[in-house]
């Protein structure tokens, strides 16, 4: 039997619509326009595409959008000065510094410099720590989007076995922490994990975030499992054309899983939607108003 294919595009549209409604209410009732600043240093073409999409979506949701482009040769001091200026700007509630940064800039030092209240990426250690102990925190957008899709699909996640493949600070670790917060039994697996296929087969929820094209095969998936594929890998076909694929071999896994996210059109669209949602959350917390409830 073929799995239910989770439509991330449609879900993201719902989240973006909800965010736009919240923004309308915040403007009308509190004179508050949430503002997001995105800092992009260097010429990475993929980063330029992401940033352009973020800018468009932010404006479409009725928010203020500021884009700061810096040269590939920018110094650490210059990046830090931009962050300081944005920290002090009352019209900006969310700051996102697009990664990777040019090699001469220390990413950790830059993330540390962002006001944790404006850290809509949820990468600052204050937010990582607060989330881990169950306090209000800004939560990284990709894992947040994955949790939203899982809860929509499965309802209560309590007691389910969740396996996260990958241990990055951006996805794997926060994903595991959020799943633990939902009362899953969580395993983080990685390149040194013994018998990874068997570990994956134990998962009711399998989250793939390793960045390796179609690494997870159909027979690694437990029948009926929910599979969330965070990978976005560009592969070259025999024809010379390129195609986006995930970390999961979709054509195999779709025959075994209960539900699965496609690539593209699964997790990807949810990330930007969650960034917008995080910006509204940050604006409300900074302004001391509660987030508008919609419908
Ligand atoms: N580069 C790739 N993904 C991300 C992300 O989620 N946030 C930031 N800041 N940079 C990224």
CATH of the domain at 224: 3.40.50.720
Asked if 149 and 201 sit in the same domain, the reply is yes
16 inside domain: no
Q: How far is CA 5 from CA 160, 164, 244, 262, 269, in A?
A: 20, 20, 17, 7, 15
Ligand 1: which of 36, 50, 143 to mutate, judged by most atoms within 8 Å of the beta carbon? 50
Mean pLDDT of 29-38: 98
- Asked if residue 283 belongs to a domain, the reply is no
On whether residue 201 sits in a domain, the answer given is yes
CB-CB contact of 162 with 203 (8 Å): yes
Domain with 237, as residue range(s), is 141-269
Ligand 1 atom 11: the closest Cα is on which residue?
99
**Predicted confidence band of residue 46 (pLDDT cuts 50, 70, 90):** confident
* Distances from the Cα of 279 to the Cα of 20, 36, 54, 81, 161, angstroms: 11, 7, 12, 22, 31
Q: Is the CB of 97 under 6 A from ligand 1?
A: yes
Tell whether the model's pLDDT for residue 147 goes beyond 90: yes
Average pLDDT over residues 146-162: 98
In testing the pocket of ligand 1, which one of 40, 47, 96, 105 has its CB within 8 Å of the most ligand atoms?
Answer: 96
The H-assigned helical ranges of the chain are: 8-30, 45-60, 76-88, 107-113, 125-132, 141-154, 172-181, 196-201, 250-253, 267-287
Provide the CA 39 distance to its chain's centre, in angstroms.
17
Are 41 and 113 contained in the same domain?
Answer: yes
Residue 188 in domain: yes
Query: Is there a single domain that holds both residue 53 and residue 158?
Result: no
CB-CB neighbours of 287 under 10 Å? 14
Give yes or no for residue 211 CB within 6 A of ligand 1. Answer: no
pLDDT at site 203: 99
Taking CA atoms only, the protein residue closest to ligand 1 atom 1 is 99
With 80 as the cut, is the pLDDT of residue 159 above it? yes
pLDDT of residue 294: 84
> By the 8 A CB rule, do 123 and 148 touch?
no
Q: How many residues does the chain have?
A: 295
Looking at the structure, do residues 255 and 158 belong to the same domain, yes or no? yes
Within 10 angstroms of residue 178's Cβ, the number of other Cβ atoms is 24
Q: For residue 295, is pLDDT > 80? A: no
Flag whether 288 is in a domain: no
Is 106 inside a domain boundary? yes
Assign 247 a pLDDT band (cuts: 50, 70, 90): very high
- Give the rounded percent of residues in the chain with a pLDDT score beyond 70: 99
Q: Structurally, how many domains does the chain consist of?
A: 2
Does ligand 1 come within 6 angstroms of the Cβ of 272? no
Domain shared by 114 and 158, yes or no: no
For the chain, give the mean pLDDT.
97
H or E element that contains 205 = strand 205-208
| Residue 147 sits in the same domain as residue 254 | yes
CA distances from 177 to 27, 137, 142, 184 (A): 34, 12, 13, 10
Average pLDDT score over residue span 133-154: 97
**H helix count then E strand count, the chain:** 10, 11
Catalytic site positions: 54, 98, 121
> Is residue 276 situated within a structural domain?
no
Check: CB of residue 50 under 8 Å from CB of residue 269.
no
Q: What is the pTM of this model?
A: 0.96
């Amino acid at each position: 039997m073929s799995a239910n294919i989770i439509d991330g595009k449609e879900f993201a549209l719902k989240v973006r619509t909800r965010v736009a409604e919240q923004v309308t209410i915040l403007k009308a009732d509190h004179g508050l326009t949430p503002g997001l600043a995105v800092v992009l240093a260097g010429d990475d073409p993929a980063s330029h595409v992401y940033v352009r999409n973020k800018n468009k979506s932010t404006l479409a949701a009725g928010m203020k959008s500021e884009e700061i482009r810096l040269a590939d040769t920018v110094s650490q001091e210059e990046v830090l000065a931009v962050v300081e200026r944005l920290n002090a700007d009352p019209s900006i509630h969310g700051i996102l510094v697009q990664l990777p940064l040019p090699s001469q800039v220390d990413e950790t030092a830059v993330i540390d410099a962002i006001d944790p209240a404006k850290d809509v990426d949820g990468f600052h250690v204050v937010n990582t720590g607060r989330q881990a102990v169950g306090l209000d925190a800004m939560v990284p957008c990709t894992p947040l989007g994955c949790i939203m899709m899982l809860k929509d699909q499965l309802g209560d996640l309590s007691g389910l076995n969740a396996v996260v493949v990958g241990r990055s600070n951006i996805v794997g670790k926060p994903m595991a922490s959020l799943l633990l917060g939902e009362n899953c039994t969580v395993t983080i697996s990685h390149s040194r994990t013994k018998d990874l296929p068997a570990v994956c087969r134990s998962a009711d929820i399998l989250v793939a975030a390793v960045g390796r094209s179609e690494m997870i095969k159909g027979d690694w998936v437990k029948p009926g499992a929910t599979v969330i594929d965070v990978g976005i890998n560009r592969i070259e076909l025999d024809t010379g054309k390129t195609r986006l694929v995930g970390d999961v071999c979709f054509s195999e896994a779709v025959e075994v899983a209960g539900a699965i996210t496609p690539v593209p059109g699964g997790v990807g669209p949810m990330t930007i939607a969650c960034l917008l949602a995080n910006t509204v959350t940050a604006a409300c917390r900074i302004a001391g108003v509660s987030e508008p409830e919609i419908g």
